[in-house]
Amino acid sequence: MVSKALGKYVQSLHQKKYRQRHGAFLVEGGKNVLELLSSDLETEQLLATAEFATQNRAQLPARLPLTLVSETELTQLGTLANNTTALAVARLPAEAPLPLTLPESQLLLALDEVRDPGNLGTLLRLADWYGLAGVVLSPGCADAFAPKTVSATMGAFARVPVWERDLAAWLPTLPAGTGIFGADLEGDNVHRVQLQPRGVLVMGSESHGLTPGVAAALTRRLHIPRGAAGRAESLNVAISAAILLDNFFRGQ
């Protein structure tokens, strides 16, 4: 049974305002909850079905407040169309330092106004696949800790550092010589250049591209060649990022 106060608290975390006020966010579904429990993030509360709790007893920390709930209750409290396993409340992580020299040795992904939480989650998962140093978000991006984002990361929310920066102000403060890459139909064919996984790869929103201040900070523009018989005007932002990242990591 879920107390009225706990139910109200969990539901408040659907909204960014309350995530920030309480310093907490929701993790929904068995796979994501197990990723959370095996990560360095702090878990406040676990709400789980008796079946999930029994099956995963070994992974549940002894001192974690656990509330057994029905599948109906879980689904009512969360945002998924259907949740038959578990839901956790986790503490929002403190922002790690972001040294300006980091992109001299590692590749960062920077997102300029990527507003769709599903796309953002897929991009975080991609950053996790390539082991990027982290993802820098402009203030206009979707919230990295919104339930839809967290679900789409398939566990990457617990591993990929994120920072919020005004990109047009931050990019020019990077050391001279830092590669700042962006996608552009007029850019260099990504198949014809040699790329190393260092610097910053900036991706913009699908509908509006990069904002002018960010576009002005690029040091190299790249384009993904379309098939000779291809007719689509553009690619989804996460798809474009995936193809570019694969090209950055070809030499490894």
Binding site residues, a copy of itself, CB under 8 A = 118, 122, 125-126, 128-132, 154-156, 159, 191, 197, 224-236, 238-239, 242-243, 246-247, 249-250, 252
Between 2 and 244, CB nearer to a copy of itself: 244
Strands (E), the chain: 24-28, 43-48, 66-68, 86-91, 107-112, 135-137, 162-164, 180-189, 199-204, 220-223
Report the nearest approach of a copy of itself to the CB of residue 6 (Å).
Answer: 29
Report the nearest approach of a copy of itself to the CB of residue 131 (Å).
Answer: 3
Between 10 and 155, CB nearer to a copy of itself: 155
CA distance 74 to 89: 13
Structure tokens belonging to residue 30: 């068995």
Report the nearest approach of a copy of itself to the CB of residue 183 (Å).
Answer: 13
Residue 106 — φ and ψ, nearest 5°? -135, 165
Structure tokens belonging to residue 203: 């991706």
Between 129 and 213, CB nearer to a copy of itself: 129
Report the nearest approach of a copy of itself to the CB of residue 115 (Å).
Answer: 14
Report the nearest approach of a copy of itself to the CB of residue 172 (Å).
Answer: 27
CA distance 18 to 116: 20
Between 8 and 191, CB nearer to a copy of itself: 191
Between 42 and 246, CB nearer to a copy of itself: 246
How buried is residue 227: exposed, middle or buried, by Cβ count under 10 Å (0-12/13-18/19+)?
Answer: exposed
